[in-house]
């Protein structure tokens, strides 16, 4: 595995002993980690290229873990979060999980519970990153289409027949077929159904030009 693509576990906790304990645990199972005493320090860290997750204490100086979770989401910083707390309650847990947290662990927790949650979080981040990569590639293909090919693609995925598209655009049916062939080739779609799925992922409106 490329070192840049290796998973990283970030730990934000103002308790130095807890940070050291978690870092030691992660090192024992071969996981790379970085620790921070305050949330602001984590924000200054460049996002890694590889999968990552955040082990976040609920009680932090200056900002609560739950508020920090919201700040990250508002800033578009997508990272799976595992909350740890010394005084969790049900409403707090529900709020964290509804906002996308992977797990909410109350101290003292079992090492294995934390490791299981971290593995789940890293797996979730791998899937998310792969989906984002696939979507970026799809957008790149779409951007390679000419303006006319985009028009034809929008009408094709809306369910219109070639002759209907030809009438709508004021071109011949043969020309529509040529454009349609270019669209299928450039988008690397093997069927109309696949092209429709691609349009859905790109969030193209029916008939969008």
Residue 49 contacts residue 4 (beta carbons within 8 Å) = yes
**The pLDDT of residue 4:** 57
pLDDT band at 95 (very low <50, low <70, confident <90, very high): confident
DSSP β-bridge partners for residue 12: 36, 56
Task: Write phi, then psi, for 16 (nearest 5 degrees).
Answer: -60, -40
pTM of the model: 0.77
Over 80: is that where the pLDDT of 51 sits? yes
* Angstrom distances, CA of residue 205 to CA of 179, 193, 198, 209: 19, 16, 12, 9
pLDDT by residue (tens digit) across 8-40?
999 999 999 999 999 999 999 999 999 999 888
Q: Is the peptide bond before 181 cis (omega within 30 degrees of 0)?
A: no
Closest CA to 109 of 45, 175, 22: 22
Cβ–Cβ under 8 Å, residues 168 and 155: yes
Report the pLDDT value the prediction gives residue 66, as an integer from 0 to 100. 87
Model confidence pLDDT, tens digit, residues 112-124: 999 999 999 999 9
Give the DSSP H or E segment for 52. Answer: strand 52-57
Q: How much is the average pLDDT of 133-140? A: 95
Helix (H, G, I), strand (E, B) or coil at 76: coil
Percent of the chain predicted with pLDDT > 70:
94
Measured between alpha carbons, how far is 46 from 58 in angstroms, rounded to an integer?
22
Q: Where residue 208 falls among pLDDT bands split at 50, 70, 90?
A: very low
Helix axes 147-157, 162-169, angle to 10 degrees: 130
Structure confidence by residue, pLDDT tens digits, 62-76: 888 888 988 888 888
Structure tokens at 164: 């209907």
Q: What pLDDT is attached to residue 207?
A: 53
């Amino acid at each position: 595995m490329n070192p840049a693509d290796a998973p990283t576990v970030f730990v934000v906790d103002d308790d130095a002993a807890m940070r050291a304990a978690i870092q030691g645990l992660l090192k024992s199972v071969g996981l790379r980690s970085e620790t921070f005493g305050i949330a602001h320090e984590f924000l200054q860290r460049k996002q890694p290229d590889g999968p990552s997750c955040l082990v976040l204490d609920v009680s932090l100086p200056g900002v609560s873990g739950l508020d920090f979770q919201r700040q990250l989401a508002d800033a578009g910083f997508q990272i799976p979060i595992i909350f740890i707390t010394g005084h969790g309650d049900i409403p707090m847990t529900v709020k964290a999980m509804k906002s996308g947290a992977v797990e909410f662990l109350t101290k003292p927790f079992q090492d294995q519970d934390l490791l299981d949650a971290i593995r789940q979080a890293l797996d979730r981040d791998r899937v998310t990153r792969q989906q984002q990569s696939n979507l970026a590639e799809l957008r790149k293909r779409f951007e390679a289409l000419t303006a006319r090919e985009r028009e034809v693609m929008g009408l094709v995925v809306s369910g219109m027949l070639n002759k209907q598209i030809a009438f709508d655009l004021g071109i011949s049916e043969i020309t529509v077929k040529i454009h349609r062939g270019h669209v299928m080739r450039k988008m690397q779609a093997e069927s109309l159904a696949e092209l429709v799925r691609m349009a859905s992922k790109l969030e193209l409106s029916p008939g969008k030009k």
